[in-house]
Amino acid sequence: MRKVRDYDAELKALGDKARSLKAKRVEQLGQLVAATGADALDAETLAGMLLDAIGSKDASAKEAWRAKGAAFFQRRGRKGGGAAAIHGSGAQAEPRGDAAGGSGGTT
């Protein structure tokens, strides 16, 4: 005889897992904002910058941002786990470090 599956319990477990993953992602994004020093900006300015970045069609600007971000994570990794915290190891990122001066201006 076949074992009866409890679909409700499976759906609930999947929903719980999805909520957990979403909460972890939100926490990691918050750590990223703090680690880069962007938490010093007001929410409207930060949102405007992100919206401009999303809407940008300039491939060279996006590549420059990607390279700058990769360099940021490499620096943080050498300093002892800051990037690992953002990438999800569970370690706590240092809130302000010297990363605040890493952008060198706005693009």
**84 neighbors 77 (Cβ within 8 angstroms):** yes
Q: What is the pLDDT of residue 60?
A: 95
Among residues 33, 9, 22, 52, the alpha carbon closest in space to that of 99 is found at 33
Q: What is the mean pLDDT of residues 99-107?
A: 44
pLDDT digit string, tens, across residues 40-63: 999 999 999 999 999 999 999 999
Of 27, 32, 25, residue with least CA distance to 83: 32
With b for 16 or more beta-carbon neighbours within 10 A and e for fewer, the 1-10 pattern comes to eeeeeeeeee
pLDDT, residue 67, reads 96
- Structure-token pair, residue 105: 């201006």
Say what the pLDDT of residue 38 is. 94
- What confidence score (pLDDT) does residue 1 get? 74
Which amino acid belongs to residue 82? G
Provide, rounded to the nearest whole percent, the portion of the chain with pLDDT above 90: 64
> What residue segments make up the domains of the chain, in order of their start?
1-57
Per-residue pLDDT band for 76 (boundaries 50, 70, 90) equals confident
Local confidence band at 79 (pLDDT 50, 70, 90 cut-offs):
low
